[in-house]
Amino acid sequence: QQQVKQSPQSLIVQKGGISIINCAYENTAFDYFPWYQQFPGKGPALLIAIRPDVSEKKEGRFTISFNKSAKQFSLHIMDSQPGDSATYFCAANGEDDKIIFGKGTRLHILP
Amino acid sequence: DAGVTQSPTHLIKTRGQQVTLRCSPKSGHDTVSWYQQALGQGPQFIFQYYEEEERQRGNFPDRFSGHQFPNYSSELNVNALLLGDSALYLCASSFGAGGFEQYFGPGTRLTVT
């Protein structure tokens, strides 16, 4: 199946806290898992991505954790800032190059 | 280094009309994918063009068609517009037929009345 399930739908975090967004997939043919950040009125921007041969990838305050056996992956935003307030999409690609997106998480960081 | 550009930014059309949206890929990229993003939803894959041919297609009717030019730019055409076609249309570019890193443009907001 070609679904990517994302949760929560919305998230409120205090400034300085950790924001965690979770995703699950079913198609074991997926082999690339990007996260996109989208601000209102803008296109999605590639934030960070991971391949299933590693369990974690960190870039600055953003970390992807990947559990291949559970078919789950998550985005952690450390020291969350008001500028991180946006909608975040997890996604997955397979060999057919179609990106399948989750439904998004609207993140709001309280100042 | 220019990123992905799209035109127009906004467009208002009447039901039944036809529309053409345009996309120029990021410098160095040769593959263009189109997505439809309804309000409050994630982008949905429409189709992908590589070497001037449609390489992959999502679950969209034949009213949605496209074209890629020798300079890698692309057009998305939608015929017989329906109210439900109102959405943000996103273009993404990548390098090569197997290029996973797709970079998105700002989108074209289409409103069908």
Provide the CATH number for the domain around residue B94: 2.60.40.10
**CATH code of domain A4-110:** 2.60.40.10
Number of domains present in the structure of chain B = 1
Asked whether the beta carbons of B57 and B63 are under 8 A apart, the reply is: no
Pick from A41, A44, A103: CB nearest B104: A44
Q: Taking residues A33-46, what's their average pLDDT? A: 94
Q: What's the CA gap between B57 and B63, in Å, rounded?
A: 13
Estimate to the nearest angstrom the gap between the alpha carbon of A85 and the chain centroid.
14
Range of the domain at B69: 5-106
Pick from A46, A97, A104: CB nearest B56: A97
- Domains of chain A, by residue range, sit at 4-110
**End-to-end CA, chain B:** 37
Q: Taking residues B21-31, what's their average pLDDT? A: 95
- Ramachandran category for residue B107: left, alpha or beta (phi over 0 → left; psi -120 to 50 → alpha): left
Which residue in this structure is represented by tokens 């037929």? Answer: B97
* Domain-embedded: residue B25: yes
Q: What's the CA gap between A36 and A49, in Å, rounded?
A: 9
Q: Taking residues B22-48, what's their average pLDDT? A: 94
Which residue in this structure is represented by tokens 């909608």? Answer: A87
Asked whether the beta carbons of B47 and B112 are under 8 A apart, the reply is: no
- CA-based torsion, A51, A53, A56, A60: positive or negative: negative
Asked whether the beta carbons of B79 and B102 are under 8 A apart, the reply is: no
* Domain-embedded: residue B112: no
* Chain B: residue whose CA lies nearest to A96: B56
pLDDT of B100 reads 78
Query: Hey, which residues does B56 pair with through a beta bridge?
Result: B48
Question: pLDDT digit string (tens) for A68-108?
Answer: 999 999 999 999 999 999 999 999 987 666 889 999 999 99
Rounded mean pLDDT of chain B?
A: 94
Chain A contact for B97, CB < 8 A?
yes
* Domain-embedded: residue B113: no
Chain A contact for B55, CB < 8 A?
yes
pLDDT of A2 reads 59
Q: Which residues of A touch B (CB under 8 A)?
A: 6, 32, 34, 36, 41-46, 49, 89, 91, 93, 95-104
pLDDT of A3 reads 87
